[in-house]
Homo-oligomer: A and B are copies of this chain.
Amino acid sequence: MIKDRDLTEKRILDAVGRIVEREGFEAVGINAVAAESGVSKILIYRYFGTIEQLLAKYMEQNDFWLNFNLAQLPQGDVKEFSKQIFRAYIQMLRNSPALRKLYRWELSSKHPSIEQLRQRREETALKIISSVCELSGESFDRVAGISTLVTASVSYLCILGENCGVYNSLQIDSDSGWEKLLETIDFMFDKIL
């Protein structure tokens, strides 16, 4: 019997990661984590308090906007910056099962740890939107409206893509559909900004 709390905590968090990627946040129960990690339930309670606090820990390291580097805010070409940022968002979301599961979970939970996450995201969003406003001369509401339209739909389609192949005749579970969508987004920015 070796005693190493740090290692045990890591084992638990790693187990959470595996469960999330496989079955989503909804499947992260005390029994599942205990089984997956090989650590007894009571230790999980002792080290993390509740399952929710455990999840909060896990989430912080996995959100796109939370880890967005504000240093590289738009310099010259606002239009290009906008296209780029959404491109990056799509790529991230399409490549990360955990992130998709997180976004899905958010839709059915108002848990404190999630609310905190959202609040921090809002702060980042505000900075980005303001910055785009200044450089483009567009109104705040306009920029907020457009970015909301794009991010929300991208989030939705990425989540949906896990269980559904076609949406509005678009192949959202493969590159072909997403290329068309990206083309539409680019077109929109060209016409609007």
Contact = CB atoms under 8 A, between A and B. Distances in A.
Interface of A: 24, 26, 104, 106-110, 114-115, 118, 122, 125-126, 129, 140-142, 144-157, 159-160, 163-164, 166-170, 180-181, 183-185, 187-188, 191-192
Contact of A153 (B144, B148, B187): B148
**Dominant secondary structure of chain A at its interface with chain B:** helix
Nearest to A147: B168
A17 B122 CA distance: 34
14 contacts: A24-B108, A26-B26, A26-B108, A104-B107, A106-B163, A108-B163, A140-B169, A144-B168, A144-B169, A146-B184, A149-B150, A149-B181, A151-B153, A152-B167
Contacts of A148: 153, 157, 167-168, 170, 181, 184
Given A150-B153, A152-B157, A169-B125, A110 B164 contact: yes
Q: Max chain B CB contacts within 10 Å: which of A107, A114, A125, A153? A: A107
Contacts of A141: 180, 183-184
